[in-house]
């Protein structure tokens, strides 16, 4: 009873106290389940950035940010429950970090007038803002990733006649790049082999046996969670040259390569933001969040790839809030104003430098027609001895001449199916 009474008194107090103005950022996180290794650092980074803004600047434009965390376990049913339970709190933007939940929320959130930012995941054709008014996937999407990987391979040498294998999570997420890679294969003349891995991907012996038999020159992987580390381990077991093994950005975190030890050395992964903790913003996080004892989770993820991604997502959301505050002239914005802010968002080098994140991501500008940004992707490589990722290329453009028609085609099919009048 000793524990219960103060808790009850506290919650009674919370109910009784007047509603204060705040900016609500629901975080549909997953700290449990087979994908927790990826979900935890992202959720920590997302929460820590807002904690830092609150402590350092007193919120965004003078209004406190509140992160409302809800555990989904990467499960779509729980994701729906989380969405319904948080939307009434004045949620500004949803970042579900799950392609399945994103698909679920696209029609619901659009009907409710709340924005979704599926950064580097979700439905790729949502980049067409004419059809998907409330969905954003800047700065890069899956198809940019596929094209970026092929571009990188072409910069390393002639790709025609070479064999490329795609090892993918057999779900909506993993199937996303297939069409793009097929079109690119027709254009550049490489052979594409598709190798699906079923959820959760703990057993990949047969897939890697197939790779061993067919001897592809390059392997591209679209994996997530435990699937990544198993794949890297299996690739090491068949002595596949790690230099020729490229993961999408969801297959390129420390969790994925550490279990394989030294054998993972040289493994590559795409990215759309910087790696490491060598940025001024991390000093602020240390001072205002970690040292103050307010770090989210266990506080041991700072500077990892996925933590940085969560932080980047939070930074883009905070910048969109600032843009919205400028447009509408109010500090305590609502969901519709947030959407306008996201649509008018512009990220420049100067802005990032001012935020303590110089060169952390590409500069880009969102518009009503283009919710996907320019699609600039970079390449990182794992150094097993130093245990760190390094950026080995610039953020370079992907083949938008090929991707844009695909985006238009898929989004217009969605518009026809759901009777949406293209706007803008």
Answer yes or no whether residue 77 interacts with other proteins by CB under 8 A: yes
Q: Tokens 């390059």 map to which residue?
A: 218
Helix or strand or coil: residue 370?
Answer: strand
CA 85/CA 67 separation, integer angstroms? 14
Question: Quick check: 88 binds other proteins (CB under 8 A)?
Answer: yes
Min dist. Cβ of residue 345 to other proteins (A):
25
Residue with tokens 């996201």: 342
Q: For other proteins, what does the binding mask look like between residues 376 and 395, x meaning CB under 8 A? A: --------------------
100: contact with other proteins by CB under 8 A: yes
Helix, strand, coil proportions of the chain in percent (round to 5)? 50, 15, 35
Smaller CB separation from other proteins, 80 or 353: 80
- Closest alpha carbon to 111 in 83, 137, 138, 139: 83
Within 203-232, the residues that bind other proteins by CB under 8 A are none
How many whole angstroms separate alpha carbon 204 and alpha carbon 229?
11
The answer to whether 321 and 23 are in contact (CB under 8 A) is: yes
172 forms part of the interface with other proteins (CB under 8 A): yes
Residue from 81, 243, 283, 326 touching other proteins (CB under 8 A): that is 81
CB 252 within 8 A of CB 389: yes
Position 107 contacts other proteins (CB under 8 A): yes
CB within 8 A of 46, min separation 6: which ones? 25, 27, 29, 67, 95, 296, 310, 311, 313, 314
Compute the least distance from the CB of residue 103 to other proteins, in Å.
4
Nearest-approach distance from CB 338 to other proteins, in angstroms: 19
Residue 179 engages other proteins in binding (rule: CB under 8 A): yes
Phi (first) and psi of residue 156, to 5 degrees: -90, -10
Q: Which residues, at least 6 apart from 379, have a Cβ–Cβ distance to it below 8 Å?
A: 148, 152, 246, 268, 269, 270, 271, 391, 392, 393
In 346-387 the beta strands, taken as DSSP E runs, fall at: 346-347, 364-365, 376-383
Using the rule CB under 8 A, which residue among 198, 217, 340, 369 binds other proteins? 198
Name which position in 9, 21, 58, 84 contacts other proteins (CB under 8 A): 84
Q: What angle do CA 51, 297, 198 make, to 5 degrees?
A: 120
Number of residues in contact with other proteins under rule CB under 8 A: 46
To other proteins, the closest distance from the beta carbon of 31 in angstroms equals 3
Angle at 178 between CA 174 and CA 183, to 5 degrees: 160
Residue 71 is a binding residue for other proteins (CB under 8 A): yes
Q: Which of 9, 21, 56, 85 binds other proteins (CB under 8 A)?
A: 85
* 7 touching other proteins, by CB under 8 A: yes
Q: How far is the CB of 333 from other proteins (least distance, A)?
A: 22
What is the distance between the alpha carbons of residues 254 and 387, in angstroms, rounded to a whole number? 8
Q: How far is the CB of 285 from other proteins (least distance, A)?
A: 19
Among 42, 44, 59, 123, binds other proteins (CB under 8 A): 123
Segment interacting with other proteins, rule: CB under 8 A, options 196-204, 305-313, 325-333, 348-356: 196-204
> Where does this chain touch other proteins (CB under 8 A) — which range of 66-74, 214-222, 331-339, 367-375?
66-74
Q: Does 176 bind other proteins (CB under 8 A)?
A: yes
How many helices (H) and strands (E) the chain has is answered by 15, 15
Strand partners, 364: 347
Positions 294 through 333 that interact with other proteins (CB under 8 A): 297
Q: Of the two residues 33 and 358, which places its CB atom closer to other proteins in the complex?
A: 33
76 lies in the site for other proteins, by CB under 8 A: yes
Length of the chain: 424
Q: 162 or 175, CB closer to other proteins? A: 175
Q: Which two tokens stand for residue 401?
A: 């001449």
CB atoms within 10 A of CB 334: 15
Q: Does 170 bind other proteins (CB under 8 A)?
A: yes
2 binds other proteins (CB under 8 A): no
Per CB under 8 A, does 417 bind other proteins? yes
Q: Which residues pair with 245 in a beta bridge?
A: 219
Least distance from C-beta 201 to other proteins, angstroms?
Answer: 11
Q: Which of residues 240-299 bind other proteins (CB under 8 A)?
A: 297
Residues at the site binding other proteins, with contacts judged by CB under 8 A: 7, 10-11, 29, 31-32, 36, 40, 69-71, 73, 75-77, 80-81, 84-85, 87-88, 99-100, 103-104, 106-108, 110-111, 123, 170-172, 175-176, 178-179, 196, 198-199, 297, 410, 417-419
């Amino acid at each position: 009873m000793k524990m219960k009474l103060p808790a009850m008194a506290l919650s009674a107090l919370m109910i009784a106290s007047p509603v204060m103005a705040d900016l609500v950022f629901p975080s549909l996180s997953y700290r449990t389940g087979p994908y927790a290794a990826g979900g935890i650092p992202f959720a920590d980074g997302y929460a820590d950035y807002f904690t830092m803004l609150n402590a350092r600047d007193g919120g965004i434009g003078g209004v406190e940010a509140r992160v409302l965390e809800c555990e989904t376990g990467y499960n779509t049913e729980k994701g729906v429950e989380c969405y319904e339970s948080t939307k009434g709190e004045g949620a500004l933007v949803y970042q579900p970090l799950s392609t399945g939940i994103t698909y679920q929320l696209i029609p619901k959130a659009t009907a409710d007038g709340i924005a979704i930012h599926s950064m580097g995941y979700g439905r790729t054709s949502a980049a067409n803002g004419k059809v998907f008014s409330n969905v954003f996937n800047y700065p890069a999407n899956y198809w940019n990733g596929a094209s970026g990987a092929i571009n990188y391979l072409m910069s390393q040498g002639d790709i025609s006649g070479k064999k490329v294998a795609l090892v993918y999570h057999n779900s909506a997420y993993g199937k996303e790049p297939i069409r793009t890679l097929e079109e690119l294969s027709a254009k550049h003349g490489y052979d594409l082999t598709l190798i699906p891995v079923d959820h959760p991907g703990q057993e990949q012996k047969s897939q890697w046996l197939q790779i061993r038999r067919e001897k592809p020159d390059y392997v591209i992987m679209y994996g997530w969670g435990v699937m990544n580390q198993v794949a890297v381990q299996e690739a090491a077991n068949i002595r596949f040259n790690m230099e020729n093994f490229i993961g999408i950005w969801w297959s390129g975190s420390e969790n994925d390569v550490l279990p394989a030890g030294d054998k993972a050395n040289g493994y590559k992964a795409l990215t759309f933001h910087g790696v490491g903790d060598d940025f001024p913003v991390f000093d602020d996080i240390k001072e205002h969040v970690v040292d103050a004892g307010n770090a989210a989770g266990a506080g041991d993820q700072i500077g990892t790839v996925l933590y940085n991604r969560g932080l980047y997502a939070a930074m883009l959301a905070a910048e969109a809030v600032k843009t919205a505050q400028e447009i509408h002239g109010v500090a305590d914005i609502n969901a519709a104003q947030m959407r306008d802010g996201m649509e008018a968002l512009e990220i420049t080098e100067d802005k990032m430098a001012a935020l303590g994140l110089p060169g952390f991501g590409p500069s880009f500008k969102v518009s009503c027609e283009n919710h996907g940004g320019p699609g600039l992707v970079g390449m990182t490589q794992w150094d097993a001895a130093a245990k760190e990722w390094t950026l080995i290329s610039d953020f370079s453009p992907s083949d938008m001449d090929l991707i844009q028609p695909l985006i238009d085609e898929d989004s217009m099919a969605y518009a026809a199916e759901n009777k949406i009048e293209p706007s803008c």
